Amino acid sequence: MALAVRRFKNSPLTPQETSLIEEGLKLFKMDWMAVWKCMVPHRDTSSLSRQYRTAVGKQKSYKGDELKREKRHAYEKQRRKSKALNSRKSTDAGHTKWVHMWTNMFQDS
């Protein structure tokens, strides 16, 4: 039962819910809490505005297009890999700098 409710709360808005939200936004002057309480209390309050923006086309949703999602995942993977490589290079360079300073200290003595 709880799984079905959770799935319903996260599912895309129906056209009827979208029109109810539009009426509520006009009536309650963009007060999302009032819209939620009076118009769509069965929805999750924290994600209602995002679901509405996705439904009317003002918010990007990566669920629909598989190709875009794959491109985004590949880009993020490459970005994380290069970021880790750059941070590893900078720590290695710092380490070798200290090693050279340390060995030079003892060679001068």
Q: Are the C-beta atoms of residues 63 and 57 closer than 8 Å to each other?
A: no
CA distance 49 to 44: 10
- DSSP-derived letter for residue 36 is H
pLDDT at 4 over 60: no
Judgement on whether residues 18 and 70 belong to the same structural domain of the protein: no
Judgement on whether residues 98 and 72 belong to the same structural domain of the protein: yes
Provide, rounded to the nearest whole percent, the portion of the chain with pLDDT above 70. 68
Judgement on whether residues 12 and 54 belong to the same structural domain of the protein: yes
Structure tokens at 21: 């939200």
Judgement on whether residues 80 and 52 belong to the same structural domain of the protein: no
Judgement on whether residues 54 and 105 belong to the same structural domain of the protein: no
> Out of 57-61, 81-85, 99-103, which region has the weakest mean confidence (pLDDT)?
99-103
Compare 98 and 53 and report the one with higher pLDDT.
53
Judgement on whether residues 105 and 53 belong to the same structural domain of the protein: no
CA distance 15 to 31: 20
Judgement on whether residues 53 and 75 belong to the same structural domain of the protein: no
- Enclosing domain of residue 39: 1-61
Judgement on whether residues 5 and 48 belong to the same structural domain of the protein: yes
Counted domains in the chain: 2
Alpha helix stretches (DSSP H) within the chain:
2-10, 15-27, 32-38, 45-56, 66-108
pTM of the model: 0.51
pLDDT band for position 78 (50/70/90)?
very high
Judgement on whether residues 14 and 40 belong to the same structural domain of the protein: yes
15-27 vs 45-56: helix axis angle to the nearest 10?
110
